[in-house]
Chain A
Protein backbone atom coordinates (compact mmCIF):
# COMPACT_ATOMS: atom_id res chain seq x y z
CA UNK A 1 0.00 0.00 0.00
CA UNK A 2 1.13 3.52 -0.73
CA UNK A 3 2.48 5.64 2.07
CA UNK A 4 1.75 9.33 2.00
CA UNK A 5 3.70 12.04 3.79
CA UNK A 6 1.62 13.99 6.26
CA UNK A 7 2.92 17.12 7.95
CA UNK A 8 0.95 18.59 10.80
CA UNK A 9 1.31 20.26 14.15
CA UNK A 10 0.90 17.77 16.98
CA UNK A 11 0.38 19.29 20.42
CA UNK A 12 2.24 22.38 19.27
CA UNK A 13 5.16 20.53 17.68
CA UNK A 14 5.85 20.34 13.95
CA UNK A 15 5.53 16.70 13.00
CA UNK A 16 6.04 14.82 9.74
CA UNK A 17 5.17 11.16 9.25
CA UNK A 18 4.35 8.70 6.51
CA UNK A 19 0.87 7.26 6.76
CA UNK A 20 -0.53 4.27 4.89
CA UNK A 21 -3.07 5.54 2.43
CA UNK A 22 -6.47 5.00 3.95
CA UNK A 23 -5.24 4.63 7.51
CA UNK A 24 -7.12 6.47 10.21
CA UNK A 25 -5.77 9.24 12.40
CA UNK A 26 -6.23 7.26 15.62
CA UNK A 27 -3.95 4.46 14.45
CA UNK A 28 -1.43 6.92 13.08
CA UNK A 29 -1.31 9.01 16.25
CA UNK A 30 -0.93 5.94 18.43
CA UNK A 31 1.33 3.72 16.37
CA UNK A 32 3.31 6.07 14.15
CA UNK A 33 3.54 9.26 16.17
CA UNK A 34 3.58 7.36 19.47
CA UNK A 35 0.88 9.44 21.18
CA UNK A 36 -1.07 6.84 23.12
CA UNK A 37 -3.52 9.23 24.74
CA UNK A 38 -6.44 8.95 22.30
CA UNK A 39 -8.11 5.57 22.72
CA UNK A 40 -9.88 2.96 20.60
CA UNK A 41 -13.37 2.26 21.94
CA UNK A 42 -15.38 1.18 18.95
CA UNK A 43 -13.88 2.19 15.62
CA UNK A 44 -17.45 2.97 14.59
CA UNK A 45 -17.67 6.61 15.65
CA UNK A 46 -20.16 6.01 18.43
CA UNK A 47 -18.20 6.26 21.66
CA UNK A 48 -15.92 9.29 21.55
CA UNK A 49 -12.86 7.77 23.23
CA UNK A 50 -10.82 8.68 20.16
CA UNK A 51 -11.78 12.35 20.07
CA UNK A 52 -8.92 14.72 19.26
CA UNK A 53 -9.04 18.38 18.29
CA UNK A 54 -8.26 19.30 14.71
CA UNK A 55 -7.86 23.05 14.39
CA UNK A 56 -9.67 23.31 17.71
CA UNK A 57 -12.72 21.28 16.68
CA UNK A 58 -13.48 17.85 18.16
CA UNK A 59 -13.18 15.02 15.64
CA UNK A 60 -13.54 11.26 15.90
CA UNK A 61 -10.01 10.24 14.99
CA UNK A 62 -11.07 6.63 14.32
CA UNK A 63 -13.13 7.88 11.38
CA UNK A 64 -10.70 10.58 10.22
CA UNK A 65 -8.31 9.73 7.42
CA UNK A 66 -4.81 10.51 8.64
CA UNK A 67 -3.87 12.19 5.38
CA UNK A 68 -6.60 14.83 5.87
CA UNK A 69 -4.72 16.51 8.72
CA UNK A 70 -2.00 17.70 6.36
CA UNK A 71 -1.10 21.24 7.35
CA UNK A 72 -3.48 21.32 10.28
CA UNK A 73 -3.20 21.51 14.03
CA UNK A 74 -3.92 18.35 16.01
CA UNK A 75 -4.26 18.45 19.79
CA UNK A 76 -4.63 15.51 22.15
CA UNK A 77 -4.73 14.95 25.90
CA UNK A 78 -1.01 14.33 25.84
CA UNK A 79 -0.56 18.03 25.13
CA UNK A 80 -3.05 19.50 27.59
CA UNK A 81 -0.57 20.33 30.29
CA UNK A 82 1.27 23.64 30.23
CA UNK A 83 4.76 22.44 31.05
CA UNK A 84 4.40 20.81 34.45
CA UNK A 85 1.11 22.55 35.21
CA UNK A 86 -2.16 20.77 34.71
CA UNK A 87 -4.89 22.30 32.60
CA UNK A 88 -7.81 23.44 34.75
CA UNK A 89 -9.90 20.63 33.28
CA UNK A 90 -7.35 18.05 34.34
CA UNK A 91 -7.21 19.49 37.82
CA UNK A 92 -10.99 19.56 38.09
CA UNK A 93 -11.33 15.93 36.95
CA UNK A 94 -8.68 14.88 39.43
CA UNK A 95 -10.13 16.68 42.42
CA UNK A 96 -13.68 15.82 41.45
CA UNK A 97 -13.04 12.09 41.23
CA UNK A 98 -14.41 12.31 37.71
CA UNK A 99 -12.68 9.23 36.40
CA UNK A 100 -12.62 5.61 37.46
CA UNK A 101 -11.09 3.40 34.80
CA UNK A 102 -9.89 6.48 32.92
CA UNK A 103 -10.50 5.10 29.43
CA UNK A 104 -13.08 7.68 28.38
CA UNK A 105 -11.17 10.50 30.07
CA UNK A 106 -8.91 11.63 27.21
CA UNK A 107 -11.87 11.92 24.85
CA UNK A 108 -13.95 13.68 27.49
CA UNK A 109 -11.17 16.17 28.17
CA UNK A 110 -10.81 17.04 24.51
CA UNK A 111 -14.55 17.49 24.01
CA UNK A 112 -14.61 19.66 27.12
CA UNK A 113 -11.61 21.68 26.01
CA UNK A 114 -13.21 22.38 22.66
CA UNK A 115 -16.29 23.64 24.49
CA UNK A 116 -14.46 25.86 26.98
CA UNK A 117 -12.17 27.31 24.33
CA UNK A 118 -15.14 28.68 22.45
CA UNK A 119 -17.58 29.11 25.35
CA UNK A 120 -15.74 29.81 28.61
CA UNK A 121 -18.91 30.06 30.70
CA UNK A 122 -21.17 27.25 29.56
CA UNK A 123 -24.43 26.28 31.19
CA UNK A 124 -24.93 22.76 32.44
CA UNK A 125 -27.01 21.99 29.37
CA UNK A 126 -24.23 23.20 27.09
CA UNK A 127 -21.73 20.98 28.88
CA UNK A 128 -24.04 17.99 28.57
CA UNK A 129 -24.43 18.63 24.88
CA UNK A 130 -20.70 19.02 24.38
CA UNK A 131 -20.01 15.56 25.84
CA UNK A 132 -23.02 13.86 24.31
CA UNK A 133 -20.73 12.11 21.87
CA UNK A 134 -18.66 10.59 24.67
CA UNK A 135 -19.71 7.40 26.38
CA UNK A 136 -18.69 6.57 29.93
CA UNK A 137 -19.51 3.26 31.54
CA UNK A 138 -18.16 3.88 35.01
CA UNK A 139 -19.03 7.27 36.43
CA UNK A 140 -22.65 7.94 35.55
CA UNK A 141 -21.60 11.21 33.85
CA UNK A 142 -22.54 13.72 36.55
CA UNK A 143 -19.06 13.81 38.12
CA UNK A 144 -17.69 14.65 34.67
CA UNK A 145 -20.23 17.40 34.02
CA UNK A 146 -19.57 18.83 37.47
CA UNK A 147 -15.82 18.87 36.85
CA UNK A 148 -16.19 20.67 33.54
CA UNK A 149 -18.36 23.32 35.15
CA UNK A 150 -15.87 23.65 38.00
CA UNK A 151 -13.06 24.12 35.52
CA UNK A 152 -15.08 26.81 33.83
CA UNK A 153 -15.35 28.57 37.15
CA UNK A 154 -19.07 28.05 37.24
CA UNK A 155 -20.67 26.63 40.29
CA UNK A 156 -21.82 23.10 39.61
CA UNK A 157 -24.08 23.36 42.60
CA UNK A 158 -21.45 21.41 44.51
CA UNK A 159 -21.43 22.24 48.18
CA UNK A 160 -18.05 23.32 49.58
Chain B
Protein backbone atom coordinates (compact mmCIF):
# COMPACT_ATOMS: atom_id res chain seq x y z
CA UNK B 1 0.00 0.00 0.00
CA UNK B 2 3.05 2.20 -0.18
CA UNK B 3 5.07 3.96 -2.82
CA UNK B 4 8.73 3.46 -2.05
CA UNK B 5 11.38 5.74 -3.46
CA UNK B 6 14.65 4.26 -4.63
CA UNK B 7 17.88 5.52 -6.08
CA UNK B 8 20.39 3.46 -8.04
CA UNK B 9 23.76 4.01 -9.66
CA UNK B 10 25.66 2.43 -12.53
CA UNK B 11 28.63 3.38 -14.67
CA UNK B 12 30.11 1.86 -17.77
CA UNK B 13 32.54 2.29 -20.57
CA UNK B 14 31.85 1.33 -24.17
CA UNK B 15 34.16 0.18 -26.99
CA UNK B 16 34.04 2.37 -30.08
CA UNK B 17 34.08 0.55 -33.39
CA UNK B 18 33.84 -3.04 -34.50
CA UNK B 19 35.47 -5.29 -31.98
CA UNK B 20 38.89 -6.57 -33.08
CA UNK B 21 39.03 -4.07 -35.94
CA UNK B 22 39.29 -5.13 -39.52
CA UNK B 23 36.35 -2.86 -40.39
CA UNK B 24 37.45 -0.29 -42.93
CA UNK B 25 35.51 2.63 -44.29
CA UNK B 26 36.36 4.73 -47.30
CA UNK B 27 35.33 8.16 -48.47
CA UNK B 28 35.67 10.16 -51.64
CA UNK B 29 35.58 13.93 -51.80
CA UNK B 30 35.45 16.03 -54.91
CA UNK B 31 34.76 19.62 -55.87
CA UNK B 32 32.06 20.82 -58.21
CA UNK B 33 32.95 23.32 -60.95
CA UNK B 34 32.41 26.26 -58.64
CA UNK B 35 34.01 25.00 -55.51
CA UNK B 36 31.27 23.22 -53.60
CA UNK B 37 32.23 19.82 -52.29
CA UNK B 38 30.50 16.46 -52.46
CA UNK B 39 31.37 13.64 -50.11
CA UNK B 40 30.55 10.20 -51.49
CA UNK B 41 30.03 7.42 -49.00
CA UNK B 42 28.42 4.02 -49.02
CA UNK B 43 27.80 4.48 -45.32
CA UNK B 44 24.25 4.29 -44.06
CA UNK B 45 22.29 6.90 -42.17
CA UNK B 46 19.84 5.24 -39.86
CA UNK B 47 18.84 8.35 -38.04
CA UNK B 48 21.98 8.71 -36.02
CA UNK B 49 23.02 11.58 -38.26
CA UNK B 50 25.73 9.96 -40.41
CA UNK B 51 25.17 12.43 -43.24
CA UNK B 52 25.11 15.36 -40.88
CA UNK B 53 28.18 14.61 -38.86
CA UNK B 54 30.30 13.65 -41.87
CA UNK B 55 29.22 16.87 -43.51
CA UNK B 56 30.52 18.90 -40.59
CA UNK B 57 33.71 16.87 -40.46
CA UNK B 58 34.34 17.39 -44.17
CA UNK B 59 33.64 21.10 -43.96
CA UNK B 60 35.95 21.57 -40.99
CA UNK B 61 38.74 19.58 -42.62
CA UNK B 62 38.43 21.33 -45.96
CA UNK B 63 38.15 24.70 -44.27
CA UNK B 64 34.92 25.67 -46.01
CA UNK B 65 31.44 26.50 -44.69
CA UNK B 66 29.17 23.55 -44.06
CA UNK B 67 26.62 24.97 -46.50
CA UNK B 68 29.09 24.31 -49.30
CA UNK B 69 29.34 20.60 -48.55
CA UNK B 70 26.85 17.81 -49.19
CA UNK B 71 27.13 14.17 -48.32
CA UNK B 72 25.73 11.46 -50.54
CA UNK B 73 25.40 8.05 -49.00
CA UNK B 74 24.34 4.51 -49.55
CA UNK B 75 24.87 3.86 -53.24
CA UNK B 76 27.23 0.97 -53.96
CA UNK B 77 27.92 2.30 -57.44
CA UNK B 78 29.21 5.68 -56.31
CA UNK B 79 30.19 5.24 -52.69
CA UNK B 80 33.38 3.36 -51.89
CA UNK B 81 33.29 0.47 -49.47
CA UNK B 82 32.15 1.04 -45.94
CA UNK B 83 31.66 -1.79 -43.50
CA UNK B 84 28.35 -0.36 -42.27
CA UNK B 85 26.66 1.58 -39.51
CA UNK B 86 26.86 -0.50 -36.36
CA UNK B 87 29.04 -1.00 -33.29
CA UNK B 88 29.26 2.76 -32.73
CA UNK B 89 31.79 2.81 -35.54
CA UNK B 90 30.28 5.47 -37.78
CA UNK B 91 31.75 8.64 -36.35
CA UNK B 92 35.10 7.02 -35.64
CA UNK B 93 35.72 5.04 -38.81
CA UNK B 94 33.74 6.95 -41.41
CA UNK B 95 34.62 10.27 -39.83
CA UNK B 96 38.31 9.45 -40.03
CA UNK B 97 38.01 8.31 -43.64
CA UNK B 98 36.29 11.58 -44.49
CA UNK B 99 39.05 13.50 -42.74
CA UNK B 100 41.73 11.75 -44.80
CA UNK B 101 39.85 12.28 -48.04
CA UNK B 102 39.08 15.89 -47.25
CA UNK B 103 42.69 16.44 -46.23
CA UNK B 104 43.90 15.24 -49.59
CA UNK B 105 41.33 17.42 -51.33
CA UNK B 106 42.37 20.37 -49.22
CA UNK B 107 45.98 19.86 -50.26
CA UNK B 108 44.97 20.09 -53.93
CA UNK B 109 42.84 23.14 -53.10
CA UNK B 110 45.73 24.97 -51.44
CA UNK B 111 48.15 23.96 -54.21
CA UNK B 112 45.77 25.39 -56.78
CA UNK B 113 45.26 28.59 -54.82
CA UNK B 114 49.00 28.92 -54.30
CA UNK B 115 49.52 28.72 -58.03
CA UNK B 116 46.95 31.47 -58.59
CA UNK B 117 48.36 33.70 -55.86
CA UNK B 118 51.94 32.83 -56.70
CA UNK B 119 52.84 31.94 -53.13
CA UNK B 120 53.95 28.85 -51.27
CA UNK B 121 50.97 26.67 -50.32
CA UNK B 122 52.34 26.38 -46.78
CA UNK B 123 51.66 30.11 -46.36
CA UNK B 124 47.96 29.77 -47.08
CA UNK B 125 45.04 29.23 -44.79
CA UNK B 126 41.28 28.98 -45.22
CA UNK B 127 38.96 31.29 -43.33
CA UNK B 128 36.09 28.81 -43.06
CA UNK B 129 33.86 31.26 -44.93
CA UNK B 130 34.78 30.34 -48.49
CA UNK B 131 38.09 32.13 -48.93
CA UNK B 132 41.78 31.25 -48.96
CA UNK B 133 44.32 33.85 -47.98
CA UNK B 134 47.97 34.29 -47.13
CA UNK B 135 48.53 33.87 -43.44
CA UNK B 136 48.92 37.29 -41.90
CA UNK B 137 47.92 39.09 -45.11
CA UNK B 138 44.17 38.57 -45.48
CA UNK B 139 43.91 40.90 -48.46
CA UNK B 140 46.01 38.53 -50.55
CA UNK B 141 43.26 36.09 -51.15
CA UNK B 142 41.17 34.12 -53.57
CA UNK B 143 37.75 32.53 -53.07
CA UNK B 144 37.38 28.77 -52.97
CA UNK B 145 35.01 29.12 -55.92
CA UNK B 146 37.56 30.91 -58.08
CA UNK B 147 40.22 28.46 -57.02
CA UNK B 148 38.04 25.60 -58.18
CA UNK B 149 37.33 27.28 -61.50
CA UNK B 150 41.01 28.00 -62.07
CA UNK B 151 42.05 24.51 -61.04
CA UNK B 152 39.61 22.70 -63.26
CA UNK B 153 39.47 24.97 -66.31
CA UNK B 154 42.91 26.54 -66.41
CA UNK B 155 45.40 24.48 -64.45
CA UNK B 156 44.07 20.99 -65.14
CA UNK B 157 43.98 19.94 -61.50
CA UNK B 158 41.33 17.95 -59.65
CA UNK B 159 40.31 19.05 -56.18
CA UNK B 160 39.61 15.56 -54.97
CA UNK B 161 40.55 13.33 -52.18
CA UNK B 162 40.25 9.74 -51.16
CA UNK B 163 40.51 8.27 -47.72
CA UNK B 164 40.38 4.96 -45.98
CA UNK B 165 40.44 4.35 -42.29
CA UNK B 166 41.22 0.94 -40.94
CA UNK B 167 42.13 -0.48 -37.59
CA UNK B 168 43.79 -3.69 -38.73
CA UNK B 169 42.26 -6.87 -37.34
CA UNK B 170 43.43 -8.18 -34.02
CA UNK B 171 43.47 -11.84 -33.17
CA UNK B 172 42.20 -13.36 -29.95
CA UNK B 173 44.35 -15.74 -27.95
CA UNK B 174 42.21 -18.79 -27.14
CA UNK B 175 44.03 -19.50 -23.88
CA UNK B 176 44.26 -16.02 -22.37
CA UNK B 177 41.73 -14.00 -24.31
CA UNK B 178 44.38 -11.43 -25.18
CA UNK B 179 43.17 -9.08 -27.91
CA UNK B 180 43.05 -5.44 -28.97
CA UNK B 181 39.29 -4.89 -28.80
CA UNK B 182 39.19 -1.29 -29.95
CA UNK B 183 41.36 1.78 -29.69
CA UNK B 184 39.10 4.02 -27.61
CA UNK B 185 36.20 3.86 -25.20
CA UNK B 186 33.38 6.21 -24.24
CA UNK B 187 32.13 6.46 -20.65
CA UNK B 188 28.90 7.02 -18.80
CA UNK B 189 27.50 7.17 -15.29
CA UNK B 190 23.84 7.31 -14.42
CA UNK B 191 21.75 7.80 -11.29
CA UNK B 192 18.13 6.77 -11.54
CA UNK B 193 15.43 7.84 -9.14
CA UNK B 194 12.24 5.83 -9.19
CA UNK B 195 9.23 4.77 -7.19
CA UNK B 196 7.93 1.26 -6.62
CA UNK B 197 4.36 0.56 -5.66
CA UNK B 198 4.57 -2.39 -3.29
CA UNK B 199 0.97 -3.38 -3.98
CA UNK B 200 1.13 -3.53 -7.79
CA UNK B 201 4.87 -3.93 -8.31
CA UNK B 202 4.81 -1.14 -10.85
CA UNK B 203 7.83 1.03 -11.27
CA UNK B 204 7.68 4.70 -12.15
CA UNK B 205 11.02 6.18 -13.15
CA UNK B 206 11.01 9.73 -11.85
CA UNK B 207 14.34 11.26 -12.83
CA UNK B 208 17.64 10.38 -14.42
CA UNK B 209 20.88 12.24 -13.83
CA UNK B 210 23.79 11.31 -15.99
CA UNK B 211 27.22 12.09 -17.30
CA UNK B 212 28.39 10.84 -20.68
CA UNK B 213 31.95 11.22 -21.90
CA UNK B 214 31.98 11.22 -25.69
CA UNK B 215 35.42 12.46 -26.70
CA UNK B 216 34.02 15.47 -28.47
CA UNK B 217 30.45 16.45 -29.22
CA UNK B 218 30.87 17.00 -32.93
CA UNK B 219 27.31 18.28 -33.13
CA UNK B 220 25.85 18.88 -29.68
CA UNK B 221 22.26 18.47 -30.84
CA UNK B 222 22.96 15.11 -32.47
CA UNK B 223 24.65 13.98 -29.25
CA UNK B 224 21.65 15.17 -27.27
CA UNK B 225 19.31 13.26 -29.57
CA UNK B 226 21.23 10.04 -28.96
CA UNK B 227 21.47 10.46 -25.22
CA UNK B 228 17.80 11.32 -24.68
CA UNK B 229 16.55 8.64 -27.06
CA UNK B 230 19.03 6.06 -25.82
CA UNK B 231 18.14 6.52 -22.18
CA UNK B 232 14.48 6.13 -23.10
CA UNK B 233 15.37 2.84 -24.74
CA UNK B 234 17.25 1.83 -21.61
CA UNK B 235 14.18 2.38 -19.44
CA UNK B 236 12.11 0.47 -21.95
CA UNK B 237 14.53 -2.45 -22.01
CA UNK B 238 14.84 -2.58 -18.24
CA UNK B 239 11.15 -2.57 -17.42
CA UNK B 240 9.10 -3.68 -20.41
CA UNK B 241 10.67 -5.30 -23.42
CA UNK B 242 10.98 -8.96 -24.20
CA UNK B 243 10.21 -11.21 -27.14
CA UNK B 244 10.12 -14.19 -24.77
CA UNK B 245 8.38 -13.30 -21.52
CA UNK B 246 8.86 -16.81 -20.19
CA UNK B 247 12.40 -17.32 -21.46
CA UNK B 248 13.66 -19.94 -22.07
CA UNK B 249 10.16 -21.14 -22.90
CA UNK B 250 8.87 -19.42 -26.03
CA UNK B 251 5.25 -19.17 -24.95
CA UNK B 252 3.28 -15.96 -25.36
CA UNK B 253 5.81 -14.18 -27.47
CA UNK B 254 4.43 -10.78 -28.55
CA UNK B 255 3.42 -10.37 -32.18
CA UNK B 256 2.35 -6.75 -32.14
CA UNK B 257 2.88 -3.55 -30.21
CA UNK B 258 -0.09 -4.24 -27.98
CA UNK B 259 1.99 -6.97 -26.38
CA UNK B 260 5.48 -5.64 -26.99
CA UNK B 261 5.55 -2.86 -24.47
CA UNK B 262 7.52 0.35 -24.62
CA UNK B 263 6.94 3.54 -22.63
CA UNK B 264 4.89 6.17 -24.39
CA UNK B 265 4.99 9.96 -24.47
CA UNK B 266 3.13 10.20 -21.17
CA UNK B 267 5.85 8.24 -19.42
CA UNK B 268 8.96 10.13 -20.43
CA UNK B 269 11.46 10.76 -17.67
CA UNK B 270 13.17 14.09 -17.02
CA UNK B 271 16.79 13.41 -17.83
CA UNK B 272 19.53 15.78 -16.78
CA UNK B 273 22.61 15.15 -18.83
CA UNK B 274 26.16 16.36 -18.52
CA UNK B 275 28.41 15.81 -21.51
CA UNK B 276 32.13 15.43 -20.92
CA UNK B 277 34.70 15.54 -23.69
CA UNK B 278 38.08 13.87 -23.41
CA UNK B 279 39.20 13.57 -27.03
CA UNK B 280 40.52 10.20 -28.16
CA UNK B 281 43.77 10.60 -30.03
CA UNK B 282 42.75 8.56 -33.07
CA UNK B 283 39.16 9.76 -33.29
CA UNK B 284 37.84 12.54 -35.57
CA UNK B 285 38.46 15.73 -33.60
CA UNK B 286 38.58 13.32 -30.68
CA UNK B 287 34.95 12.35 -31.05
CA UNK B 288 33.78 8.90 -30.00
CA UNK B 289 30.28 7.59 -30.70
CA UNK B 290 27.45 7.92 -28.16
CA UNK B 291 25.01 5.83 -30.16
CA UNK B 292 25.03 2.56 -28.21
CA UNK B 293 26.28 3.20 -24.75
CA UNK B 294 23.53 5.66 -23.95
CA UNK B 295 21.10 2.90 -23.00
CA UNK B 296 23.40 0.49 -21.18
CA UNK B 297 23.92 2.06 -17.77
CA UNK B 298 20.23 2.79 -17.31
CA UNK B 299 19.34 -0.90 -17.01
CA UNK B 300 21.40 -1.76 -13.95
CA UNK B 301 20.79 1.64 -12.41
CA UNK B 302 17.08 0.82 -12.47
CA UNK B 303 17.67 -2.63 -10.98
CA UNK B 304 19.80 -1.10 -8.24
CA UNK B 305 17.19 1.56 -7.57
CA UNK B 306 14.47 -1.06 -7.23
CA UNK B 307 16.62 -2.81 -4.65
CA UNK B 308 17.10 0.45 -2.82
CA UNK B 309 13.36 1.04 -2.87
CA UNK B 310 11.95 -2.31 -1.78
CA UNK B 311 14.88 -4.61 -1.07
CA UNK B 312 14.29 -6.93 -4.02
CA UNK B 313 17.22 -7.85 -6.28
CA UNK B 314 15.85 -8.18 -9.81
CA UNK B 315 18.60 -10.01 -11.59
CA UNK B 316 16.60 -10.91 -14.69
CA UNK B 317 15.37 -8.61 -17.43
CA UNK B 318 12.82 -7.26 -17.92
CA UNK B 319 12.06 -6.17 -14.36
CA UNK B 320 8.35 -6.74 -14.30
CA UNK B 321 5.79 -6.01 -11.58
CA UNK B 322 5.38 -9.75 -11.18
CA UNK B 323 9.03 -10.25 -10.38
CA UNK B 324 9.02 -7.38 -7.90
CA UNK B 325 5.91 -8.64 -6.14
CA UNK B 326 7.29 -12.17 -5.93
CA UNK B 327 10.44 -10.74 -4.43
CA UNK B 328 8.55 -8.66 -1.91
CA UNK B 329 6.49 -11.67 -0.91
CA UNK B 330 9.58 -13.84 -0.54
CA UNK B 331 11.10 -11.20 1.72
CA UNK B 332 7.98 -11.01 3.83
CA UNK B 333 7.34 -7.44 2.76
CA UNK B 334 9.01 -4.46 1.18
CA UNK B 335 12.45 -3.73 2.68
CA UNK B 336 13.53 -0.22 1.76
CA UNK B 337 17.31 0.05 1.95
CA UNK B 338 17.63 3.64 3.02
CA UNK B 339 17.62 7.03 1.41
CA UNK B 340 20.64 8.13 -0.59
Contact = CB atoms under 8 A, between A and B. Distances in A.
A141 B264 contact: yes
B265 A141 contact: yes
Contacts of A131: 265
Interface string A138-149: 111111110000
A142 B257 contact: no
A102 B256 CA distance: 21
Contacts of A102: 47
Contacts of A42: 256-257
Given A97-B224, A145-B265, A139 B229 contact: yes
Given A143-B225, A144-B265, A101 B46 contact: yes
A127 to B, nearest CB: 8
B190 to A, nearest CB: 15
B231 A46 contact: no
Interface string B194-235: 000000000000000000000000000110110011011100
A116 interface: no
Given A100-B49, A101-B47, A47 B229 contact: no
Interface size class for chain B? 20 to 34
Contacts of B228: 139-140, 142-143
A140 B258 contact: no
B268 A141 contact: yes
Contact of B229 (A44, A100, A103): A100
Contacts of A47: 257
A140 B232 contact: yes
A140 B224 contact: no
A46 B225 contact: no
A132 interface: yes
B266 interface: yes
A47 B262 CA distance: 11
Nearest to B45: A101
A128 interface: yes
Nearest to B46: A101
Contacts of B232: 139-141
A135 interface: yes
A34 B135 CA distance: 55
A124 to B, nearest CB: 10
Contact of B268 (A44, A129, A137, A140): A140
8 contacts: A44-B256, A44-B258, A100-B49, A100-B225, A101-B47, A102-B47, A125-B266, A140-B233
Interface of A: 42, 44, 46-47, 97, 99-103, 125, 128-129, 131-132, 135, 137-145
Interface of B: 46-49, 221-222, 224-225, 228-229, 231-233, 256-258, 262, 264-266, 268
